[in-house]
Amino acid sequence: MPVASRFDLSGRVALVTGASRGIGSAIAETLAEHGAQVVLSSRKQADLDSEAERINALYAERATPIAAHAGRPEELERLVKDVMERFSRIDILVNNAGTNPYFGPLIGAELSAWDKTFEVNLRGVFVLTKLVYEASMEARGGSIVNISSIGGLRPGLGLGVYNVTKAGVIMLTRQLARELGGKVRVNAVAPGLVKTRFAEALWGNQEILDRVLAQNPMGRIGVPDEIAAAVLFLASDAASYVNGEVLVVDGGGGGEM
């Protein structure tokens, strides 16, 4: 098979969470660029509508916006039902939605912040994956890409609760890959610091930014399109024999924040 055609997603339906901005937006656009019909999901319909309009101006009728809170099972159930009614299949699932309501020492976290972070970052990934698998992938197969973090591999200052959830995403990825790998490939991307609004508290802090740049051989932080390219690879036939892997995309920085 020619290399270019291995990245062709024509005829496939992709569902991307946290898709109204940042990394999720870049992922949705990249998958649409390569032929997929992409369902964009996040909490706010208005934000999704504008993002879908932007993508559709580039790739006509490729983007469909459907709002759903990634931490609420009833909304995720409605989301999957809606996607199946519209397209009858889900071939690619990208679990990108995430939250981080607390920055500080792990031991100082309130239980409410712990619960909210787990609700979206880990439980939500499990719930949506289960729903998509039962609705479509169990019968048709598919590819799942979970967005973790280098914080899920190595500890870092201030992001303890977030990092614990992302470590959970990595183990969830590997466990599901082992269980579903004959039919569904499950992989993860672990970004380093990326220039998004979500991460602005980090890259907008000069002390933190200087520390990250000092240990990064590329001398810069990442941008969303670079994470999207990794997701495209894992979602496509180019990665047909890749399963249960965590692809670190951090410029070789080593993971410390």
List helix spans (H) across the chain: 3-6, 22-33, 45-58, 73-87, 111-118, 124-132, 138-140, 160-180, 200-203, 206-214, 224-235
Residues designated as active site: 162
Rounded to whole angstroms, the Cα distance separating 96 from 116 reads: 16
Determine whether 72 is exposed, middle or buried from the number of CB atoms within 10 Å of its CB (0-12, 13-18, 19+). middle
CB 72 within 8 A of CB 42: no
Q: What is the DSSP string of 181-244?
A: TTTEEEEEEEE-SB-SSTTHHHHTSHHHHHHHHHT-TTSS-B-HHHHHHHHHHHHSGGGTT--S
